[in-house]
Structure 1
Amino acid sequence: MAAQGVFITFEGIDGSGKSTQARRLADHLRAIGRDVVLTREPGGSPGAEEIRRLVLEGDPDRWSAETEILLFTAARRDHLEKTIAPALAAGKAVICDRFADSTRLYQGITRGDLRGVVDQLHALMIGREPDLTFIIDMDPALGLARAKGRNGAEERFEDFGEALQQKMRAGFLDLAREFADRCVVVDGNRGIDAVAADVARLADGRLG
């Protein structure tokens, strides 16, 4: 795995702290000598960042779930080509804030019965799963309050409300069982340092 690089993703509901934990793990791995690329989705490459603005800003009803699947897959393909695959080929550790699991839920399950479409497109255009996925589990009400408290422009999905976040939390826990070989659930209802310590310990154990 080390020779080909390692691909680690962070997933969770909005406001769960996954972005912070992705940064903390990147710092930890760099401190022990690994070459790390920290990236995000949607985004992570110039073309994908342009698509990010399309899907995360504006009215909640701006796009249908079907259209979003196509946009996210296009962004992910560009991200894979321009950022993820080259870094892995160079033997680097790639840490990504969200990946295909988010699309499986946001567009595939919580807004319609489209999981099969997501998986078909993923197999056709992406064909890559992470080596390790951390799911930061968080109380949906607390996570949504945190997310809305950022007062940023990218709140289109937060504007769907707590009901969506409840579905997302349940969906992520289901995914953790479905992909038990790569998914680890971490309790995010704690302080940042405590969560980061657990993530670092688990990553070290998995990666050797």
Structure 2
Amino acid sequence: MTRGRLVAVCGIDGSGKTTQIERVVDHLRAQGRDVVATRQPTDRYRQDATVRAALDLRLELAQISPELALFAAFDRLRHLREVVEPALAAGSWVVTDRYVYSSYAYFLSRGIAEVDWLTAINRHAPRPDLTVVVDVPPELAAVRIVARDGSSRKREELDLDRMQTVRAAFRDQPWGAHADYHVVDGTDPVEQVWDRVRTLVDGLAG
């Protein structure tokens, strides 16, 4: 059986990646492919009380970031073993909302300067067959987040300086550039963004 393909879609919150993920999944299924849609980190990480407190900026991120980075790496490996790898082995395409590159970008913004350490603790995460980063300025992302969720409390996603650091990391790839990693302009109309994403996916499909 032919092994499936792993597609990762990354970007800061409010970039429009969710819309593109939905289109990728629908597009692949329309071609008759079996698709597993998933996300990283999983709810095991997202719903952890300490993680929530940190991301709501009720804890000092610079102090707790190494702990969270290790937790995120564990969560990723468990998710890979339980969900991603079995699906790929069965010939399914896996489309994940965020992947290891998101961990790199976010934890670099949270005070971890050692990119080599981040890549070391995630060294067993396989490189996706295709990574798409939907890129938008943090100011635009914040407007979208507030329109979607409101702004009743301060959250990491609304810290524009931090999100600019995350964005810069996604664009500069200090962890090492790869030919299968693509940054697309998310400020364009949705259909234009989708045209670019679809071209990349179809190129992978062959």
Q: CA deviation digits over 1:123-172, x for unaligned, max 9?
A: 1xx3311111001111221012212332279984314x000111111111
Question: Aligned with 1:205: secondary structure?
Answer: helix
Q: Which residue of 1 aligns with 2:28?
A: 29
Q: Which residue of 1 aligns with 2:147?
A: 149
Q: Which residue of 1 aligns with 2:168?
A: 170
With the length of structure 1 as denominator, give the TM-score of the two structures: 0.87
Decide whether aligned partners of structure 1 residues 5 and 171 sit closer, same or farther in structure 2, where only a CA change above 3 A counts.
Answer: same
Decide whether aligned partners of structure 1 residues 176 and 5 sit closer, same or farther in structure 2, where only a CA change above 3 A counts.
Answer: farther
Task: Give the root-mean-square deviation of aligned CA atoms.
Answer: 2.3
Q: Which residue of 2 aligns with 1:60?
A: 57
CA-CA distance at 1:109 after TM superposition: 4.9
Question: Aligned with 2:12: secondary structure?
Answer: coil
Q: Which residue of 1 aligns with 2:44?
A: 50
Q: Which residue of 1 aligns with 2:108?
A: 108
With the length of structure 2 as denominator, give the TM-score of the two structures: 0.87
Percent identical pairs in the alignment equals 34
Q: CA deviation digits over 1:94-149, x for unaligned, max 9?
A: 000101001111113552313122111111xx331111100111122101221233
| Unmatched 5+ stretches in structure 1 | 44-48
Decide whether aligned partners of structure 1 residues 169 and 204 sit closer, same or farther in structure 2, where only a CA change above 3 A counts.
Answer: same
Q: 2:179 aligns with which of 181, 186, 208?
A: 181
Q: Which residue of 1 aligns with 2:121?
A: 121
CA-CA distance at 1:174 after TM superposition: 0.8
Distance in 2 between residues matched to 1:189 and 1:51, nearest whole Å: 30
Decide whether aligned partners of structure 1 residues 176 and 138 sit closer, same or farther in structure 2, where only a CA change above 3 A counts.
Answer: farther
Q: Would you identify which runs of 4 or more consecutive aligned residues in structure 1 move more than 6 Å?
A: 152-155
| Aligned residues of 2:132 and 2:182 also touching (Cα < 8 A) | yes
Distance in 2 between residues matched to 1:176 and 1:130, nearest whole Å: 17
Decide whether aligned partners of structure 1 residues 155 and 199 sit closer, same or farther in structure 2, where only a CA change above 3 A counts.
Answer: farther
Q: Which residue of 2 aligns with 1:190?
A: 188
Distance in 2 between residues matched to 1:170 and 1:110, nearest whole Å: 13
| Aligned residues of 2:8 and 2:130 also touching (Cα < 8 A) | yes
| Aligned residues of 1:60 and 1:156 also touching (Cα < 8 A) | yes
| Aligned residues of 1:73 and 1:122 also touching (Cα < 8 A) | yes
